[in-house]
Structure 1
């Protein structure tokens, strides 16, 4: 039963590993490459500095195993005259890499992840010849006394040690081999990264674990507070790449890795990525169960630690030199600042006085500008008022000439009321909507008496309420446009069906007004004006534009005016002028 369950778990694990990588990869066999004189192999990799990693800044792949694989491809190209390309694909989880390669049926799949050669793994995959010796060393915090056995180690940890390792690795095997002697109560924790193990060890005196010797050396150079225990070292046959059992690449692989060229390449790569001290330390173990000369190994370790102390001392001395330089520069800056301070105070005082005077002049200029604009608006209003008065006097003269005294008296009374309202509105820069509605109704009623039966009108407030009726707009802003709708719009119609509609609407942030007529339209009115060349038609177009330009200079939100040409189903013409201005109370 247990054996069946174990087989099922292994199958599920292998299936999950295969799912992490595409089922088909560009991985040609050696026979295909020879036949076509070109081909591609895929290198699956798991990150571990300095063996395989992405370069900071560029993201390019670097490392010992990367260059070993690329040097193998270059050897095949030179030796056999084929074009061979290596495609690299990352496998983020280490323990998924070996099962995928083991079950792959593609000959050109290789795996790289600093694999240790073991008997169990050799039953699943093929290994390249090793590119470097391999030792797993037991590492603890540097303050833990050196132990000669597992029992001594546990006593040094006071019986509460915690082992950290990675699943499906030789390091996990070494921890399991160590724990029966140290007691079953020692807990084991798993992590996904060798350097994570070292960082946990450096931060806690109770933690221990196995890591590859090369990784330990890198951690030592990085300054981590760690140490190895020589008596508990676990030797291996070496680190190598892997490929499927049925692959036909084995003869070419063995040929290159057994060549003198590869011997030189591997030594150069170890020195390039591990440095002189570390490469010597990693390459020191022989084929036996212990390093050939542990005293030499210890000497190299001490040199690394000593070099670290020397580097720290040099950095400290360099920091002191920089600090002294900064102090000297600071004193010079203070002396220079003291010399310039008096001059800066005088210049600053003069600048402040000049800025104050400029500010006063600017305020005066703005006040003068506002007064000029107000005066210009009053002049424009004054130019508009006489025109209507003259037209009204002409109407009174017309009624008197027809001896229609009653109609003339009625018109004069209405005209007097309108003039009082007009003068009251013109005396203020703004007018309430309620007063503007009253003024426009009086004006259009007077004009309706002059041009009897020619047009009708309506002045309405949409959803009238206190907010709309109390809103204010510039005085006499609408009057020229209403008069324009009358004289150039509805009075130019051939019939008496003209209608002028003025509506007010409050949107919450804006006051919107529309002046609409069903007159002859702008094109017909322009043509008639050109033919008649009349000097007494409404002269408000230019005046209105000038006044709007002045009003917009004094408001944060401009008054927008839009003219729309209308056309009804019967072919009639018309015009609508739309206003939008800030809603002020």
Structure 2
């Protein structure tokens, strides 16, 4: 079997550090890479895009120092598909709040530093794999999966400044009566099954509830937010934590869910992630802090309204 074919279609998902530069990865995957015309208009000619095939795992791309010396760079954007944040529109183009944020960053790199940039988008629907791939990569690799900024994660990843607030909400089927206080959960949720999303803070929250109020209750891990919402909506036998925007969209779509506000956790902020110690981190920070702050800019507020709607945009941005 030719190397390119075997590399792109049958790479094992082992967590091994990449030993090839991303240019070599891209060359092997060239037959599967598809030019994405998504945002040719309105962008400088110095920025081009491709959509890569299946992620082979952690990748290695040029450092910022190398990119400046060479005058060109291929940077890798891993993303977790998420409605409103990283999704395909009706024409099949990749878009969303965080997708456009990274496009703006790529344009800033080209314009500010005179670097010819090629962006490679890599989809990874499994959040834990996405997180590990970015963590174990090298150089110009970035990740958007609405990752909550925590001190524990800072020990193994770099973060951008926060771009959005988050509220984690405790959710059941609407048939379950609303909790008046968390102290009642031991009785009210007895017999329910917890739905942890592995690798996330939502899993940690459910573990804390189990340890304090519901020891020994059954758990059923889920692989995605869509699966979590589907199970919660299917019957009254489950409970779990989801981000407020996922709850909001599920309710807008008519899903029979109930939020229990006494379980809300509004202490989170989201950031773009990079490999720990990446020399691209100061460049990303510079982009976020320019001209009064990207997250406060009219451009970013417009992206929030366009992709999330006015009410949800206001809730998440603290406006």
TM norm structure 2: 0.78
More helix by share: 1
Partner of 2:310: 276
Partner of 1:232: 263
> Post-superposition shift, 1:112?
1.5
Distance change in 2, residues 1:16/1:190 (3 Å): farther
Partner of 1:15: 15
| Alpha-carbon distance between aligned partners in 2 of 1:110 and 1:176, rounded to the nearest angstrom | 29
Distance change in 2, residues 1:99/1:146 (3 Å): same
| Alpha-carbon distance between aligned partners in 1 of 2:151 and 2:269, rounded to the nearest angstrom | 12
**Is 2:57–2:133's contact at 8 Å kept on the other side of the alignment?**
no
The reply on whether 1:42 has 2:65 as its aligned counterpart is no
The reply on whether 1:89 has 2:118 as its aligned counterpart is no
Map residues 105-504 of structure 1 onto 2, 5 A cutoff.
106-157=138-189, 159-259=190-290, 260=292, 262=294, 263-264=296-297, 265-284=299-318
**Is 1:131–1:238's contact at 8 Å kept on the other side of the alignment?**
yes
| Alpha-carbon distance between aligned partners in 1 of 2:215 and 2:202, rounded to the nearest angstrom | 18
| Alpha-carbon distance between aligned partners in 1 of 2:236 and 2:304, rounded to the nearest angstrom | 31
- Greater relative contact order (Cα 8 A, min sep 6): structure 1 or 2? 2
Partner of 2:42: none
**Is 2:58–2:132's contact at 8 Å kept on the other side of the alignment?**
no
The reply on whether 1:51 has 2:85 as its aligned counterpart is yes
Per-residue CA distance 1:315-341 (angstroms, 9 max, x = gap): xxxxxxxxxxxxxxxxxxxxxxxxxxx
Partner of 2:106: 73
Distance change in 2, residues 1:206/1:119 (3 Å): same
| Alpha-carbon distance between aligned partners in 1 of 2:275 and 2:84, rounded to the nearest angstrom | 25
**Is 1:68–1:266's contact at 8 Å kept on the other side of the alignment?**
yes
Distance change in 2, residues 1:198/1:17 (3 Å): farther
SS of the residue corresponding to residue 194 of structure 2 reads: strand
> Post-superposition shift, 1:23?
6.7
User: Unaligned 5+ residue runs, structure 1?
Assistant: 1-12, 286-585
**Is 2:159–2:281's contact at 8 Å kept on the other side of the alignment?**
no
Distance change in 2, residues 1:83/1:261 (3 Å): farther
SS of the residue corresponding to residue 15 of structure 2 reads: helix
Per-residue CA distance 1:396-420 (angstroms, 9 max, x = gap): xxxxxxxxxxxxxxxxxxxxxxxxx
Partner of 1:542: none
Distance change in 2, residues 1:193/1:22 (3 Å): closer
**Is 2:60–2:139's contact at 8 Å kept on the other side of the alignment?**
no
SS of the residue corresponding to residue 61 of structure 2 reads: coil
| Alpha-carbon distance between aligned partners in 2 of 1:189 and 1:25, rounded to the nearest angstrom | 31
Distance change in 2, residues 1:154/1:245 (3 Å): same
Distance change in 2, residues 1:234/1:14 (3 Å): farther
**Is 1:14–1:96's contact at 8 Å kept on the other side of the alignment?**
no
| Alpha-carbon distance between aligned partners in 1 of 2:145 and 2:99, rounded to the nearest angstrom | 10
| Alpha-carbon distance between aligned partners in 1 of 2:169 and 2:280, rounded to the nearest angstrom | 33
